[in-house]
Amino acid sequence: MSPDRELRVSKIRNGTVIDHITGGQSLNVLAILGIDGSEEFSVSIGMNVPSDRLGHKDILKVEGRELSQSEVDVLSLIAPEATINIVRDYEVVEKNRVEPPAEVVGVLSCPNRNCISNDDEPVETRFTVMADGVRCDYCSEILRDRLAEHIDV
Ligand code: CTP
């Protein structure tokens, strides 16, 4: 593509670029990160931009923020091809592909209101990751979509 026809989103100085997000999932990724626009830092969002590898992808550039392991674990469930680039002083200093964890502990709340993990008991939520969703270890409830609505970090 000729340079004047190419869309360019500014590079960031310090922060995280989450690249190769499954097309259409960037708003859910923002929900996982708890970013709703009320923060001070800049966020650039590219949705359904062309990608050689994925056809279409979303990309998020978050200035001045790095991700915790539990955020990356949940993100990997909705964007399994994502790459997390850590940027410092304009350089990519670390690049990691996400990997779905075997279990997600203490991050998601169970949608089953009768589940013991929703009682006042001191029980940490625990889900086993499957190919097409996650299963609560206590009540076997399966959570497929709407993972972002059940983040409890
Ligand atoms: N990026 C950025 N700001 C920086 C450095 C990089 O926004 N200061 C973005 C780039 O625009 C790109 C992503 O971070 O979208 C990864 O950068 P880089 O590793 O340089 O690009 P590629 O080699 O194309 O990445 P990949 O091989 O993972 O596709």
Predicted local distance difference test score (pLDDT) of residue 152: 74
What pLDDT score was predicted for residue 99? 93
pLDDT in tens, 14-52: 999 999 999 999 999 998 898 999 999 999 999 999 999
CB 18 within 8 A of CB 94: no
pLDDT tens for each residue of 99-130: 999 999 988 999 999 999 999 888 999 999 99
Name the fold adopted by 103-150: SH3 type barrels. (2.30.30)
| Domain definitions of the chain by residue range | 11-97, 103-150
Cα 117 to middle of ligand 1, angstroms: 40
110 annotated as a binding-site residue: yes
Tokens 């190769």 belong to 20
pLDDT of residue 70: 85
Reported as a single tens digit per residue, the pLDDT across 2-11 is 667 766 788 9
Is 16 touching ligand 1 by the criterion CB < 6 Å? no
Order of strands, sheet of 103-105, starting from the edge strand that comes earlier in the sequence: 103-105, 126-130, 133-136, 142-143
Beta strands 43-51 and 126-130, pairing class: unpaired
CA–CA dist 45, 64 (Å, integer): 15
The Å distance, Cα 19 to ligand 1 centre, comes to 8
Q: Please determine, for residue 88, whether its predicted confidence score (pLDDT) is greater than 90.
A: yes
Which pLDDT score is estimated for 7?
65
115 is in an annotated binding site: yes
Instruction: Say what the pLDDT of residue 3 is.
Output: 65
pLDDT mean over 69-77: 90
Tell me: is residue 136 an annotated ligand-binding position: yes
What is the CATH code of the structural domain delimited by 11-97?
3.30.70.140
Tell me, what's the pLDDT at 153? Answer: 61
